[in-house]
C-alpha cells in the first residue's frame, strides 16, 4: 500500500473557477464533473456546480475540489461534516482525500481511521468511484476515501 493524502478544497459555487485557476497556475489539467452529470435534474439550483473536481499536474501536483451543496448558511457546526438530504454538508474549507488502488486497500484505510470516528458517508460504490466513503476521525479531520477510477 502507498497512501498520499490529497487536499480536497470545499467551495460554495466557486470550485470550477478555482480548479481552472490552479490548473493554469501549476501547469496541469482540470477534470470537472457537475451534479447534473451524475443525475441531478438540470433545473435544480446547483445542478451545474462541481461535485467532483481534480487538478492533475505533470510534476505530480494534485488537488481536489467541489461545491458543497446547499446555501452557505446551511453548513454544519464548525469543524464538522454531515449527511443531510443525501448530500454532504460542511463548513470546513478542506478535507483530506485518500485514493486507493482497490476496494481492499480503501477498506484497510477506512478501518484504521474509523476508530473513534463519525461516519459521514459509509464506504460503498458511488457514481464516480468503485468505492467512496467519508468520515471525520476522532481528531476532527474529515477524510474522503476513494478507489481510484480511471479518468477519461
End-to-end CA distance of the chain: 24
pLDDT score of 27 more than 80: yes
User: Which comes out higher in pLDDT, residue 78 or 50?
Assistant: 50
Kindly indicate the confidence band of residue 128, based on its pLDDT and cuts at 50, 70 and 90.
confident
Tell whether 66 is covered by a domain. yes
CATH number at residue 17: 3.10.180.10
53 contacts 16 by C-beta, under 8 angstroms: yes
User: Mean pLDDT across the stretch 130-138?
Assistant: 90
| 73 located within any domain | yes
Domain total for the chain?
1
State the Cα–Cα distance between residues 92 and 141, nearest whole angstrom: 10
Mean pLDDT of 59-64: 86
Can you tell me which residue has the cell 477519461? 152
Question: Has residue 96 got a pLDDT over 50?
Answer: yes
- 152 falls within a domain: no
Give the mean model confidence (pLDDT) for residues 11-37.
91
Q: Is residue 58 part of a domain?
A: yes
Tell me, yes or no, whether 121 lies in a domain.
yes
pLDDT at 85: 60
131 pLDDT band, cuts 50/70/90, is very high
Structural domain of 81: 5-147
Q: What global pTM score does this model have?
A: 0.64
Cell of 83: 449527511
Amino acid at each position: 500500500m502507498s497512501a498520499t493524502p490529497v487536499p480536497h478544497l470545499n467551495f460554495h459555487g466557486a470550485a470550477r473557477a478555482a480548479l481552472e485557476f490552479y490548473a493554469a497556475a501549476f501547469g496541469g489539467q482540470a477534470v470537472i464533473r457537475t451534479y447534473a452529470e451524475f443525475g441531478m435534474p438540470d433545473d435544480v439550483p446547483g445542478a451545474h456546480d462541481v461535485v467532483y473536481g481534480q487538478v492533475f499536474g505533470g510534476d505530480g501536483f494534485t488537488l481536489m475540489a467541489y461545491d458543497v451543496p446547499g446555501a452557505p448558511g446551511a453548513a454544519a457546526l464548525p469543524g464538522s461534516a454531515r449527511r443531510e438530504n443525501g448530500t454532504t454538508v460542511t463548513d470546513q474549507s478542506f478535507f483530506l482525500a485518500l485514493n486507493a488502488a482497490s476496494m481492499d486497500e480503501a477498506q484497510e484505510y477506512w478501518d484504521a481511521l474509523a476508530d473513534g470516528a463519525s461516519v459521514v458517508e459509509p464506504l460503498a460504490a458511488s457514481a464516480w468511484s468503485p468505492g467512496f466513503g467519508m468520515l471525520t476521525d476522532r481528531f476532527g479531520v474529515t477524510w474522503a476515501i476513494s478507489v481510484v477510477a480511471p479518468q477519461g
